[in-house]
Structure 1
Amino acid sequence: MKVANHTVVEIHYTLKDADGSVIDSSANSDPLKYLQGAGNIVPGLEKAMLEKAPGDTFSAVIAPEEGYGQQKPELIQIMPRSAFDHIEELDVGMAFHAENTHGQPMEVEIIDIDGDEITINGNHPLAGVELHFEIEVVSVRQATAEEIDRGDVH
C-alpha cells in the first residue's frame, strides 16, 4: 500500500537545518505515526510523502512556506516586566503558554531581557527555517473510520 490521504503512516526521520545541524530525529525511538491528509505534519512533508511505500527512503527539503511559515514580526513584542510579576526569575529561552488575540493558545518565548523590557517571540521556533528531512517509510495502512473522523491516529 502506498501513502495516500486517509492512510496511517509510520516513518523514521531525521530533521536538519540548512547547515546540517540535527533539529530532531526518531533514531533510537519508535517511528512517528501520523494520519496522512489530516495536517498532522508540515504541509511540504505531507506532499512529499504521497505515493511512498514501506521501505522507501528519501530526502525532502521543505521551504519555510511549506513548513512552519515565515517569521511574523507582529508576533515579536516588548512587554513590561510587570506583565511577568507572578514569576520571580526570568531568563532568555523561557517559554510560556499564552492566548493570541483570537483567544487561541500559543507558546511564546523570551528572546531578550533589557532592564524592565522583556521581548517575547510568538513565532514557532522553526518559523523561517528551511527543513531538511531524511525519511524512511516503515509502514502504511488504511485509517479506520474513527481515525479519519478524529483526524489523528490512536
Structure 2
Amino acid sequence: MLKHSDFVEIDFIGRIKGSQQVFDLTNAEDAKKNKVFDEKRKYEPVVICLGAGKIFPKIETAVEGHNIGEEITVELLPEDAFGIKNPKLIQLVPLKTFKEKDLSPFPGLRLTVDGAIATVRSVTGGRVTLDFNHPLSGRNLVYTIKLNKQITKVEDKIKAISDMFFNTESIKFGDKIEVKAKAKPNEKFIDLFKKKLEEFVLEAKGKPIDIA
C-alpha cells in the first residue's frame, strides 16, 4: 500500500469533465486511441514522490492508500487544479495594436504579451479580448491514473526530485551525489532541489552534492 514519501511510476490521462476532451497524457497508445497523438512529443510514464508537490496535491493524496497495479480516477475542482478564472486577467486590446505589429489575431491563438502568455478569446468591433488566465482555469478536470510500479532505486528517486527543478541529463550516487543538467541550473532551483532531496530521499542525507 502506497504512503506519503513513496516514489511511484504512473501513467495518466487528464480530461476536461463534461466534454471529455483530453488535454494531457503519458502513453502513446492512449494518445492514438483518443486521436491526440503528436509525433513530435515523447510519451513516457512519470515518476512522482507522494507529498513532494510534483503533481496536484489532491492527486497525491488520492494515490496514498492504493496498491501498485490499480487504476484510480480523481476529479479536481478548479481550486484543486489550475485555479478559478480571474476576470482581472481578461483584457481588451485595440485590434490596431496587433495590426501595427503585422499580427492577425484569431480566437484560440496563444501569444506572449509583455512576458506573459495570453489566449485570444474573441476579435470583434475592432477589439481583441485577451485572456491571461491558464487555459484550464475554471475547469473541472478528471484524471485516470495507473499505478505502474514503486521506485526503490536511489538514483531514480534523486532524478524524480531533480526533474522537478531542471532538465536532468544524468545522476550518479556514491560517496557523493552528482547531478548533471542539460542547461545551467538556476541557483534558486538548486536550493529548492537540495531541500526536497533532504526531505524525501533518506539515502541522500548528509552526502555532498555536485550539480553541473
TM-score, normalization by structure 1? 0.77
2:4 matches 1:4: yes
Q: Once the 2 structures are TM-superposed, how far is the Cα of residue 119 of structure 1 from its aligned partner?
A: 0.3
Q: Once the 2 structures are TM-superposed, how far is the Cα of residue 8 of structure 1 from its aligned partner?
A: 4.0
Larger radius of gyration: 2
State the match for 1:130 in structure 2: 140
Aligned to 1:77, what secondary structure does the other structure show? Answer: strand
Q: 1:38 to 1:151 in 2, by over 3 A?
A: farther
TM-score, normalization by structure 2? 0.59
Q: Which residue of 84, 91, 107 corresponds with 2:106? A: 91
Q: Which amino acid aligns with 2:17?
A: A
The alignment yields a C-alpha RMSD, in angstroms, of 2.6
Q: Once the 2 structures are TM-superposed, how far is the Cα of residue 20 of structure 1 from its aligned partner?
A: 5.0
Q: 1:19 to 1:92 in 2, by over 3 A?
A: same
Aligned to 1:45, what secondary structure does the other structure show? Answer: helix
Percent identity (aligned): 23
State the match for 2:127 in structure 1: 117
Aligned to 1:74, what secondary structure does the other structure show? Answer: helix
State the match for 2:64 in structure 1: 50
State the match for 1:21 in structure 2: 20
Q: 1:109 to 1:20 in 2, by over 3 A?
A: closer
Aligned to 2:18, what secondary structure does the other structure show? Answer: coil
Which one has a larger percent strand, Structure 1 or Structure 2? 1
Separation in structure 2 between the aligned mates of residue 149 and residue 16 of structure 1, nearest angstrom: 27
Q: Which runs of 5+ in 1 are unaligned?
A: 100-104
Q: 1:87 to 1:150 in 2, by over 3 A?
A: same
Q: Which amino acid aligns with 1:111?
A: R
Separation in structure 2 between the aligned mates of residue 97 and residue 8 of structure 1, nearest angstrom: 36
Q: Once the 2 structures are TM-superposed, how far is the Cα of residue 149 of structure 1 from its aligned partner?
A: 6.4
Q: Which runs of 5+ in 2 are unaligned?
A: 30-42, 169-212
Separation in structure 2 between the aligned mates of residue 90 and residue 41 of structure 1, nearest angstrom: 33
Q: State the structure with bigger RCO (CA 8 A, min sep 6), 1 or 2.
A: 1
Alignment of 1:27-46 (within 5 A): 27=27, 28=29, 29-46=43-60
2:107 matches 1:108: no
Q: Once the 2 structures are TM-superposed, how far is the Cα of residue 82 of structure 1 from its aligned partner?
A: 3.8
CA contact (8 A) 1:59 1:135 kept: yes
Aligned to 1:21, what secondary structure does the other structure show? Answer: coil
